[in-house]
Amino acid sequence: EAQLLESGGGLVQPGGSLRLSCAASGFTFINYAMSWVRQAPGKGPEWVAGVNGGSGSSDYADSVRGRFTASRDNSRNTLYLRMNSLRAEDTAVYYCVKDAFKENGLWDAFDIWGRGTMVAVAS
Amino acid sequence: EIVLTQSPGTLSLSPGERATLSCRASQSVSGYLAWYQQKPGQAPRLLIYAASSRATDIPDRFSGSGSGTDFTLTISRLEPEDFAMYYCQQYGRSPPFPFGPGTKVDIK
């Protein structure tokens, strides 16, 4: 059974940094693109960043580009999100998500979601 | 950048009734449209991908249709566990991959 487990969330001051991790199991990690999706309290989900499986190339939402860095370690089956210059509006539950199908040149719908890790940015 | 709108914002229905949820894109997304269900305190769950394909273990009372800019999620007969938030999402060739604002299906 495919599973994702996020860690690393917490309370951080504005301007601070945090690194999230996502441990994957139950599937061949390198074969799938992975993404981070966040959800602010009472709001809908927002795609934040994605990382391709084999190449490790990444892409970002405009709201986080230049501040967040997504990466992966395929030898450890782990996805990361480094978040710098955090702002109050980054406060959200951050989910690690898996593409539904093996890489085929397209980004897919997200079939597996972790339980999420809460990030709160406040002084 | 593509923007998704969903209607209605809230749908009040009784168990056994049919639910019809709409998602409209600001420009064509071809068939790269997914639907998710979310219950309080839980992560979203994939229901439909490629506009009309049911995800693994999703009951056949859930169906999706549409193409281009207009899409519909239909729940043929509402079960008690179906009362939840529903989001559509565009995916495909180039990020970003926006979600719609959601439709809440609640008990009448």
User: Over the stretch B8-35, which tens digit does the pLDDT of each residue have?
Assistant: 999 999 999 999 999 999 999 989 999 9
Mean pLDDT of A35-50: 97
pLDDT band at B94 (very low <50, low <70, confident <90, very high): confident
Please tell me the number of Cα atoms within 13 Å of B74 on its side-chain side: 9
Q: How far apart are CA A98 and CA A82, in angstroms?
A: 18
* B46·A100 Cβ contact <8 A: yes
Q: Residue B93: pLDDT above 90?
A: no
- At residue B34, what are phi and psi to the nearest 5 degrees? -120, 155
How confident is the model over A40-51, as a mean pLDDT?
A: 96
B103: nearest CA partner in chain A: A44
d(CA A103, CA A119): 29
For β-strands A10-12 and A117-121, DSSP reports them as parallel
Tokens coding B2 = 């593509």
Q: What is the distance between the alpha carbons of residues A8 and B26, in angstroms, rounded to a whole number?
A: 36
The answer to whether the CB of A71 falls within 8 A of the CB of A65 is no
- Which of B44, B56, B92 is the closest to A106 by Cβ? B92
Measuring CA to CA, how many Å separate B37 from each of A90, B40, B58, B99?
Answer: 23, 10, 11, 12
Calculate what percentage of chain A has a pLDDT beyond 90: 91
